[in-house]
Amino acid sequence: MKPTLLNRQLAAYFDTHLPEVRHCSPNTIESYEDAFRLLFDFMQEKQGIPHYKVQYKDFTPALLEDFTLWLTREHNYSGASVKARLSALTSFMKYASRREMAALHAFTVVAGAEKPKVTHMPFPYFTLQEMRILLRLPNPDKKTEKRDLVLLSLFYESGARAQELCNIKVGDVRFGPTTKVRLFGKGNKAREVPISNDVANLVRYHLKENELDGKRNEPLFLSQLGGKMTTACVRNLVDKYVSKAREANPKLFTEPKYSPHSFRHSKAVHMVESGTQLIYIRDFLGHVSVQSTEVYARIGQSAVTKMLTERGKSAAQPPEPVEKNENGKYPNFLERSKRK
Choose one of 120, 152, 177: the last residue of a domain.
120
**Under DSSP, is residue 303 helix (H, G, I), strand (E, B) or coil?**
helix
Residue 79 lies in a domain: yes
Q: How many domains does the chain have?
A: 2
Specify whether 152 is located in the same domain as 115. Answer: no
Residue 338 lies in a domain: no
| pLDDT tens digit sequence for 25-68 | 887 888 889 899 999 999 999 999 999 999 999 999 999 999 99
d(C-alpha 124, C-alpha 131), whole Å: 13
Specify whether 83 is located in the same domain as 159. Answer: no
d(C-alpha 283, C-alpha 23), whole Å: 25
d(C-alpha 60, C-alpha 95), whole Å: 18
Q: Read off the pTM.
A: 0.55
Q: What's residue 323's pLDDT?
A: 47
Structural domain of 247: 128-310
219 DSSP assignment: B
Mean pLDDT in residue range 81-110: 92
- The CATH code of the domain that includes 252 is 1.10.443.10
Specify whether 68 is located in the same domain as 163. Answer: no
Choose one of 103, 120, 137: the last residue of a domain.
120
Residue 25 lies in a domain: yes
Specify whether 38 is located in the same domain as 165. Answer: no
DSSP letter for each residue of 152-200? HHHHHHHT--HHHHHH-BGGGEE-SSS-EEEEE-GGG-EEEEE--HHHH
- The CATH code of the domain that includes 100 is 1.10.150
pLDDT higher for 135 or 284? 135
Mean of all residue pLDDT scores within the chain: 81
Mean pLDDT in residue range 67-87: 86
| Predicted confidence (pLDDT) at residue 120 exceeds the cutoff of 90 | no
